[in-house]
């Protein structure tokens, strides 16, 4: 897998610190570092940091001590790490620092399809754009060499289709760089005050100028035979790979000049001159924003900015083909329209989040429900998630909704924010502290399933396991909530729906009392994708009796994937394969038609 | 579909889609096919679905054997489709080329080759998720894949954790037997 290739590249290049926060499509990079370090005996410290900003700063200081370092994240994680990232461009590094920011054109699993290469350009940091897992691995090493030579962080930007592609590649032994930590104090640089920042900016411009002039990352040309005089195609990342496949299929590989841009920023200076002097028209295929196209400039260049290439979305082979046909003046093939449809994702059968969301929506039918990012965003299917913005935003938005409604004369709706345990650690703590201090009134339900489920079950700080599976110093969510000054804190298992709904009501009473404020309920139940957790809980054999009226309440408002309507009579049936026997739906049926008998526990 | 047993007669260039619902084991099938292809010396590149869609949503993986650079298969270009759920035919069949081989995990017959993986799993005392390997065995038995049943069985044996190995091979062989 591309992410495994990147992890291998980090170990082989001699990094001694690798940090990350999980996020699709980057999540498998750090576990691969751990696995390959263990396999080869390479001395790499690997850390799931509490968020991307922290991850960046931990890796940065290792680099400032002269040692090679890697930090990986998904593209929106770079937003969180942008503060240290931009400053690190000015101050530079000592040991190589590679920043892996995995983009998600499409997007498939992200809140934006932003282009990290633009972020690199904004920060004045060189960025490499791999076409395949194989190239991604090689680029990690090349990025670290470049980083050390110019004392500048270097970004490697894979996309989903590189991260989640698999291919065979050759593995080498890890470089063991004997570099004891050696931090050289230099206040003008490491503490640069505005007086010195201007000089550091000039120095940064010089570095970028030299890198743009260096031939080693200049675009690679697959030369044409003159069949298309004055025209060329320029591509980067996986868009290059898909274009190469189409050119091969159309018999045009080697007929038209075809460039691969390995380093989209800074774009090689001679290349810019060459394109603008030797070609009458150039087509640029890149994901997701027009980074190369804008640097080339000029009316000869066509791409996303000019509108020749669709300005949003992934460049799949099906999107690229008509663009190529138009540019090369080929007869178009009939386009095959992908049909709409497919099953939307839903919370797993037995997921305790479903019980918590059901309880929230049933208890407060007129409520406002800001939420956050994780599996539990799927609570929107249950009508219990009204907003999903960015990590931690649900809590601050709850405070903002309170201000909006408290200012009016009308009734104050109950505001219930939900946030997952990992998201709470990531960005929820300052938001909660702010809400308590500023005297906002709302309920916060922390959905604690004892893992980072969405991205593949990375441990949270509360679990107390490090990235390498060793015991860490566990930090409890309840302690943090208390430390934020919260006056109402209860923990409960949402599986017991009636009790959980009563608890929500008492939380609402607290919120609405004059001395009240933020009430926090920690909904505790482990993720059932953890097989041990599933084994440890009681299981029930479920059945639906004659009393089912086919009212669809359980189907529409509870949406357990194990429940489906019988096609003949509309009554509900339970799929014994998907049902995990949690028994929660017993409390959901208004007719009492769902029965449970204990089979285990 | 002509049944082939001669490894030399198999295509060395093939594009396959694996379509299913999150949790059905589409990723496992994809990896087994990729490992078997690589072990046979073929150039393989694959693409997978990760993230939220894995929570029961529609997922698709792609396997390309041959001199390809990119991991995605264009519409109407796949040689073979393995469908773990018949509902996905409506969503992903457009990837198949005209005359492409379609294998579906279902008891309901249609304009495709089908095997009732869930029923066979039950008959063999296997969990429902074993339907993925039953479908793989069935497709391999019908000669629909670039790699033969023996090579696939070897990879299943080599790559499956010991406690699941016997059951996995039993599922694969059940599918193979169903292919006749």
What's the pLDDT score for residue B1? 36
Report the residue of chain A nearest B36, measured CA to CA: A168
What's the pLDDT score for residue A429? 98
Which candidate from A167, A321, A339 shows the least CB-CB separation from B45?
Answer: A167
Cβ distance B69 to A341 less than 8 Å, yes or no, reads no
Cβ distance A164 to B22 less than 8 Å, yes or no, reads no
Cβ distance A336 to B94 less than 8 Å, yes or no, reads yes
Q: What is the mean pLDDT of residues A181-196?
A: 96
**Arithmetic mean of pLDDT over chain A:** 95
Q: What is the mean pLDDT of residues A510-529?
A: 95
Interface probe, candidates B35, B68, B70, B127, chain A, greatest A C-beta count within 10 A: B70
pTM above 0.90, yes or no: yes
Dihedral angle over CA of B19, B25, B31, B35, nearest 10: -110
Which positions ≥6 away from B46 have C-beta within 8 Å? A165, A166, A167, B30, B31, B33, B34, B61, B62, B63, B64, B71
Residues in chain B: 180
Domain B14-179: CATH superfamily is: Pyruvate-ferredoxin oxidoreductase, PFOR, domain III (3.40.920.10)
Q: What is the mean pLDDT of residues A240-253?
A: 97
Q: How far is Cα A451 from Cα A348, in angstroms, rounded to an integer?
A: 15
Interface probe, candidates A22, A168, A235, chain B, greatest B C-beta count within 10 A: A168
The contact set of B with A (CB < 8 A) is 21-23, 30-31, 34, 38, 43-58, 67-76, 87-88, 90-91, 94, 118, 128
Q: State yes or no: pLDDT of A282 exceeds 60.
A: yes
Tell me if chain B has a CB within 8 Å of the CB of A561. yes
ipTM of the complex: 0.90
pLDDT band at A342 (very low <50, low <70, confident <90, very high): confident
What's the pLDDT score for residue A298? 84
Q: Enumerate domains of chain A plus CATH numbers.
A: 2-213 (3.40.50.970), 220-328 (3.40.50.920), 352-534 (3.40.50.970), 538-600 (3.30.70.20)
Q: What is the mean pLDDT of residues A162-184?
A: 95
Residue B122 C-alpha, separation from nearest chain A C-alpha, in angstroms: 11
pLDDT, tens only, B47-103: 988 777 677 788 899 999 999 999 999 999 999 999 999 999 999 999 999 999 999
pLDDT band at A531 (very low <50, low <70, confident <90, very high): confident
Work out the angle at residue A452's Cα, subtended by the Cα atoms of residues A451 and A454, and round it to the nearest 5 degrees.
Answer: 130
Q: What is the mean pLDDT of residues A100-108?
A: 95
Cβ distance A167 to B87 less than 8 Å, yes or no, reads no
How does A304-318 read in b/e, with b if 16+ C-beta sit within 10 Å?
Answer: bbeebbeeeebbbbb
Cβ distance B34 to A132 less than 8 Å, yes or no, reads no
A52-64 vs A82-91: helix crossing angle, rounded to 10: 20
CB atoms within 10 A of CB A170: 7
What's the pLDDT score for residue B8? 52
Q: Is the distance from CB of B55 to CB of A346 less than 8 angstroms?
A: yes
pLDDT, tens only, B101-114: 999 999 999 999 99
The least confident of A116-125, A187-196, B9-18 is: B9-18
Which candidate from A240, A344, A377 shows the least CB-CB separation from B57?
Answer: A344
Distances (CA, A) of B4 to A429, B1, B142: 62, 9, 8
Interface probe, candidates B19, B40, B52, B118, chain A, greatest A C-beta count within 10 A: B52
Tell me if chain B has a CB within 8 Å of the CB of A245. yes
pLDDT, tens only, A32-71: 999 999 999 999 999 999 999 999 999 999 999 999 999 9
Q: What is the mean pLDDT of residues A391-406?
A: 96
What's the pLDDT score for residue B2? 38
What's the pLDDT score for residue A490? 98
Tell me if chain B has a CB within 8 Å of the CB of A562. no
pLDDT, tens only, A118-135: 999 999 999 999 999 999
DSSP B72: P
Q: State yes or no: pLDDT of B5 exceeds 80.
A: no
Q: Write out chain A residues lying below 8 Å of B17, CB-based.
A: none
Please give the interface size between A and B, counted as residue pairs whose CB atoms are below 8 Å apart.
115
């Amino acid at each position: 897998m591309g992410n495994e290739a990147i992890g291998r590249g980090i170990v082989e290049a001699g990094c001694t610190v690798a940090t990350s926060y999980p996020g699709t499509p980057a999540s498998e990079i750090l576990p691969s570092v751990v696995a390959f370090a263990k396999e080869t005996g390479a001395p790499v410290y690997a850390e799931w940091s509490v968020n991307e900003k922290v991850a960046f700063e931990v890796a940065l200081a290792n680099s400032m001590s002269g040692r090679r370092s890697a930090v990986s994240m998904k593209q929106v994680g770079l937003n969180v790490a942008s503060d240290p990232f931009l400053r690190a461009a000015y101050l530079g590094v000592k040991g190589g620092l590679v920043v892996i920011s995995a983009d998600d054109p499409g997007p498939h699993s992200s809140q934006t399809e932003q282009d990290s290469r633009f972020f690199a350009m904004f920060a004045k940091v060189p960025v490499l754009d791999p076409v395949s897992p194989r190239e991604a691995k090689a680029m990690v090493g090349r990025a670290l060499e470049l980083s050390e030579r110019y004392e500048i962080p270097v970004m490697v930007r894979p996309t989903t289709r590189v991260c989640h592609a698999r291919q065979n590649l050759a593995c080498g032994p890890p470089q063991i760089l004997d570099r004891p930590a050696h931090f050289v104090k230099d206040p003008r640089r490491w503490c640069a005050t505005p007086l010195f920042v201007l000089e550091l900016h000039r120095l940064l411009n010089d570095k970028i100028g030299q890198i743009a002039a260096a031939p080693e990352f200049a675009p690679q040309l697959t030369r044409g035979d003159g069949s298309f005089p004055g025209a060329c195609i320029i591509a980067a990342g996986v868009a290059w790979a898909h274009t190469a496949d189409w050119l091969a299929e159309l018999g045009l590989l080697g007929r038209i000049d075809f460039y691969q841009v390995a380093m989209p920023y800074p774009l090689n200076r001679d290349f810019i001159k060459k394109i603008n002097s030797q070609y009458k028209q150039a087509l640029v295929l890149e994901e997701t924003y027009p980074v190369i196209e804008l640097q080339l400039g000029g009316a000869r260049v066509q791409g996303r900015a000019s509108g020749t290439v669709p300005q949003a979305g992934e460049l799949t082979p099906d999107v690229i083909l008509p663009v190529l046909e138009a540019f090369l003046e080929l007869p178009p093939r009939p386009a095959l329209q992908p049909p709409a449809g497919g099953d939307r994702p839903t919370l797993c059968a037995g997921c305790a989040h479903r019980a918590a969301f059901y309880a929230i929506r049933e208890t407060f039918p007129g409520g406002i429900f800001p939420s956050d990012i994780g599996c539990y965003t799927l609570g929107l299917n249950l009508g219990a998630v009204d907003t999903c913005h960015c990590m931690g935003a649900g809590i601050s938005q709850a405070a903002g909704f309170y201000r909006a409604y408290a200012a009016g004369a009308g009734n104050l709706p109950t505001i219930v924010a939900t946030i997952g345990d990992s998201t709470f650690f990531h960005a929820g703590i300052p938001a909660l502290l702010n809400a308590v201090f500023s005297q906002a009134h709302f309920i916060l339900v922390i959905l604690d399933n004892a893992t980072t489920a969405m991205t593949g079950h990375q441990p949270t700080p509360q679990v107390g396991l490090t990235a390498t599976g060793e015991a860490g110093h566990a930090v409890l969510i309840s302690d943090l909530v208390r430390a934020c000054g919260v006056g109402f804190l209860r923990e409960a298992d949402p599986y017991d729906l009636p009790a959980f709904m009563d608890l929500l009501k008492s939380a609402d009473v607290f919120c609405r009392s004059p001395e009240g404020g933020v009430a926090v309920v920690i909904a505790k139940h482990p993720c059932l994708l953890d097989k041990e957790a599933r084994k440890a809980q009681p299981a029930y054999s479920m059945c639906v009796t004659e009393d089912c009226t086919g009212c669809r309440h359980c189907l529409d408002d509870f949406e357990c994937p194990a429940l489906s309507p019988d096609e003949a009579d509309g009554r509900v049936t339970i799929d014994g394969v998907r049902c995990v026997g949690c028994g929660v739906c017993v409390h959901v049926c208004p007719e009492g038609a769902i029965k449970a008998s204990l089979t285990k526990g | 579909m002509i049944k082939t047993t001669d490894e030399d007669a198999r295509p060395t260039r093939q594009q396959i889609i694996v379509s299913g619902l999150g949790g059905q084991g589409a990723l496992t099938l994809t990896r087994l096919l990729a490992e078997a292809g690589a072990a046979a010396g073929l150039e393989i590149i694959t693409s997978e679905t990760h993230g939220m869609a894995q929570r029961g949503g529609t997922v698709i993986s792609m396997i390309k054997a041959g001199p390809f650079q990119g991991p995605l298969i264009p519409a109407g270009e796949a040689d073979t489709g393995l469908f773990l759920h018949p509902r996905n035919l409506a969503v992903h069949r457009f990837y198949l080329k005209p005359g492409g081989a379609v294998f579906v995990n279902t008891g309901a017959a249609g304009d495709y080759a089908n095997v009732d993986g869930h029923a066979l799993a039950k008959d063999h005392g296997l969990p429902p998720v074993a339907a993925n390997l039953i479908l793989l065995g069935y497709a391999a038995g019908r000669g629909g894949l670039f790699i033969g049943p023996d090579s696939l069985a070897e990879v299943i044996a080599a790559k499956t954790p010991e406690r699941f190995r016997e059951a996995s091979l039993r599922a694969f062989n059940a599918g193979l037997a169903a292919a006749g």
